[in-house]
Structure 1
Amino acid sequence: MKNIYIIRHCEAEGQEPEAPLTNNGLTQAADVAAFFEQRKVDRIISSPFKRAIQTIQPLANEVNIEIETNQQLAERVLSSIKMADWFEKLRATFEDFDLAYEGGESSREAATRILGVVDDVLKSDAENTILVTHGGLMSLLLKHYNKNFGFEQWRTLSNPDIYILKQNQHISLERVWRS
């Protein structure tokens, strides 16, 4: 049996890669560490973005596990240009998985990235792995395993949020964080 915990980072000051957690986000990171007190963790893999690493650092320190960073867990780039109507543009990418904007990646391309990480983890020896990522990318993984997960469900994700993907005879997915 494999358990993969998928974590959306805690509250951050911005969207750029070096945006740190807010003071509230730092408190949330301590709450995430407390959430795992009674759970076994063998491996931690995180987006290289500062807010993702800060989200899991308290737990990594507590369980003395080195955080592996993986660029494939970085947030999806919707576009390289600023779009005033980004919210509607994002909604459209949930309906058309091949839609890509200038300098951005399609939902299919982004989903392939995170699914590659999950596949590697499922093939590894680790039984209990944590993946720390971002809401956009996380939502595409959730949609892969739950076809009913879409734009509206993405909007309901919290910072932080935690789902567990379990592989036994089949793969199941469950939200385990209660904010």
Structure 2
Amino acid sequence: MRIFLVRHGMDEEGYRGGWSQRGLIEQGIIQSERLGDYLYHHSEQYKINTVISSDLPRAVQTTKELEKRLDIKAHYLKDWREMNNGDLAGMPNKEAEVKYAGVYFNTLGMDIPFPGGESPRNFYNRICTSFRDLGQSIEEQQVESNVLLVTHGGVINILYYLLGHQNWTNKSEFHSIGNTSIHTVEKGVDGWKFSGMNMISHLG
């Protein structure tokens, strides 16, 4: 049983991310196409049966390119969104620095939400619950393994801490998570563990 975590393709710089409704730039589409081609040509290695994606535009656009090549219809779920940064979502950085000076992901208290959004602790709990629910669904064969899950850097980073049994805060070090990178999680006797990290050979 395996879950392949994928970060979406490259999106626009200069804007706050989170629940931004902005999509991919051309380079992000190309990255997604290359990943799709790679997964198609290595289908025997990955044996993907289920595709799940965040429903934010940058993840949806990435997943649409993968759907074409894998010929699998994806399930788009709000559960796998990046952290909800509320009023700052998609806001130009310069505007955010004026309207919300000093308000960044890593400057919030763990229980202090973004204006109109969620707190780091809420975000962490949401992702932990979503992963545990997915893992249980796979183990109980309600969801067919192997699963390709297209999501966001902040989400994958939390899962590194969760599955590594390490404490996480919004000030914790960020793992290397490139655009369209693959991070492999496998179920073993000790539960779900990472067995592959930040694979980007398709971009070479």
Q: Give SS of 1:57's match.
A: helix
Moved segments of 4+, more than 6 Å: none
Amino acid at match of 2:105: L
Q: TM-score, normalising length from structure 1? A: 0.82
Counterpart residue number, 2:102: 85
User: Rg bigger for which structure?
Assistant: 2
Question: In structure 1, what residue type is equivalent to 2:27?
Answer: N
Inter-partner Cα distance in structure 2 for 1:118 and 1:63: 23
1:20 to partner: Cα distance: 2.0
Opposite residue 47 of structure 2, the aligned amino acid is: K
Counterpart selection for 1:71 from 75, 78, 81: 78
8 Å Cα contact 2:11-2:24 kept in structure 1: yes
User: How far apart, in 1, do the equivalents of 2:172 and 2:80 lie?
Assistant: 19
Q: CA RMSD in A?
A: 2.4
Alignment of 1:33 onto 2:36: yes
Match of residue 152 from structure 1: 173
Change over 3 Å in CA distance of 1:97–1:130 after alignment to 2: farther
Q: Is the 8 Å Cα contact of residues 177 and 198 (structure 2) preserved in structure 1?
A: no
Partner of 1:22: 25
Residue 65 of structure 1 and its aligned partner are, at CA, apart by 1.0
Counterpart among 184, 189, 192 of residue 164 in structure 1: 184
TM-score, structure 2 normalization: 0.73
- SS of the residue 1:36 aligns to: helix
> Hey, what does 1:103 align to over in structure 2?
116
Alignment correspondent of 1:59 = 66
The code of the aligned residue for 1:164 comes to T
How far apart are residue 79 of structure 1 and its match?
A: 4.6
Structure 2 letter corresponding to 1:142: Y
**Aligned partners of 1:75 and 1:137 also within 8 Å:** yes
State the alpha-carbon separation in 1 of the partners of residues 132 and 182 from structure 2.
Answer: 19
Q: Does the Cα contact within 8 Å between 1:110 and 1:140 map onto a contact in 2?
A: no
Q: What stretches of structure 2 of length at least 5 have no aligned partner?
A: 89-95
% identical equivalent positions = 24
Whether the aligned pair in 2 keeps the contact of 1:4 and 1:128 (CA below 8 Å) is yes
Question: CA offsets, 1:76-124, max 9 Å, x none?
Answer: 12353543334xx32245xx54343432222221122222332232223
Higher deviation after alignment, 20-29 or 168-177:
168-177
